Structure 1
Amino acid sequence: MQLTRYTDYALRVLTYLAVLPAGDKANIEQISLKYALSLHHLKKIVQQLGVFGIVETRRGKGGGISLLKAPQQINLGHVVALLENNLDVIDCHTSPCKILPACRLKGILAIATQAFMQTLNEYTLADLVSDNKSELIQLLLIEDSH
């Protein structure tokens, strides 16, 4: 299984926000530059994260984006489930398979997907940044010297 780029980029945005000093806000341009990602694409992602109540977005002076909850309250499985339209590993129905009525693979893959999501549900955003926060701060928040 592979997550979409949309979800990957959303998790990167959340990681960036999780290592900000308390009370600080980021702007999408900063995040876009640090990760070398499309600004336009990140705007859509941040907007969606705002709709889902994961981040707060404010325009204008004193504006920016920040987490609405503490990193330990943001469950990774929940975020992935919100952002991924389809967690099916294979599509048995678009081009119907001849063995579909007798196929066991779809069931096995469904169990694997359940295990994948169950594992993600055991982790929060805090787990992504707790042991390596100083390194992430160095990589994401400290200006490049060249």
Structure 2
Amino acid sequence: MKLTDYTDYTLRTLIFLGLHRNEQVTIQQIADGYDISKNHLMKIIHRLSLDGLVETTRGRSGGVRLRKPPDEINIGQVVRAAEQEFALVECFSRVNNRCVLSPVCELQATFRDALEAFFAVLDKRTLADILRNAEEVRPYIRLRGVTVRAENA
């Protein structure tokens, strides 16, 4: 199973905003921090705003910040909202399933159990859990092409 870049960037965006909890940051700062496309992030920020996870301010001094505290942002919910589907195998699809074994295959149930276990782990985690090692993470975030070092690093 592989999550899409969209989901990866969504989670990284939340981490960035969590690391800058008391600041309003720009989409460009996030893009620079991770060396990813600003246009891609604009779509992500829009979705996160619709989901009520971030608030945005337009204009010259505008930006984005978390709307909820990190301990109220559930990682499982974020991943479910970001991913289009979780069809691990063809037989998960009601539309495109051509597998002749589907009516009797135990593998399908095994994959469903595995997917449920995957989400059971994610559902136990919040953004606050992910940010527990924030001071270790900070040095790896780039700002305008320059790596930002922790003050005591």
What TM-score does the superposition give when structure 2 sets the normalisation length? 0.87
- CA separation in 2, counterparts of 1:9 and 1:39? 11
Deviation at 1:114, TM superposition (A): 0.5
Whether the aligned pair in 1 keeps the contact of 2:32 and 2:143 (CA below 8 Å) is: no
**Amino-acid identity (%):** 37
| 1:1-146 pair list within 5 angstroms | 1-22=1-22, 24-92=23-91, 93=93, 94-130=96-132, 132-140=133-141, 144=146
- CA separation in 2, counterparts of 1:29 and 1:105? 45
Q: Name the CA shift for 1:141/1:21 in 2 (closer, same or farther; >3 Å).
A: farther
Q: Report Cα offsets for 1:18-77 as digits up to 9, x if no partner.
A: 01152x011111111121111111110110010100111111133100000111110000
Whether the aligned pair in 2 keeps the contact of 1:28 and 1:39 (CA below 8 Å) is: yes
Deviation at 1:139, TM superposition (A): 2.2
- CA separation in 2, counterparts of 1:5 and 1:58? 25
3-state DSSP of counterpart to 2:103? helix
Whether the aligned pair in 1 keeps the contact of 2:90 and 2:99 (CA below 8 Å) is: no
Whether the aligned pair in 2 keeps the contact of 1:88 and 1:113 (CA below 8 Å) is: no
Whether the aligned pair in 2 keeps the contact of 1:88 and 1:110 (CA below 8 Å) is: no
- CA separation in 2, counterparts of 1:115 and 1:66? 31
3-state DSSP of counterpart to 2:36? coil
Deviation at 1:138, TM superposition (A): 2.4
Whether the aligned pair in 1 keeps the contact of 2:7 and 2:83 (CA below 8 Å) is: yes
The two structures, once aligned, show a CA RMSD in angstroms of 1.6
Deviation at 1:142, TM superposition (A): 6.2
Whether the aligned pair in 2 keeps the contact of 1:77 and 1:123 (CA below 8 Å) is: yes
- CA separation in 1, counterparts of 2:128 and 2:101? 44
- Consecutive unaligned residues of structure 2, counting only runs of 5 or more, are 148-153
- Consecutive unaligned residues of structure 1, counting only runs of 5 or more, are none
**Number of equivalenced pairs:** 143
- CA separation in 2, counterparts of 1:61 and 1:137? 26
3-state DSSP of counterpart to 1:69? coil
Deviation at 1:98, TM superposition (A): 1.6
Kindly provide the amino acid, as one letter, of the partner of residue 104 in structure 2.
A
What TM-score does the superposition give when structure 1 sets the normalisation length? 0.90
- CA separation in 1, counterparts of 2:125 and 2:42? 26
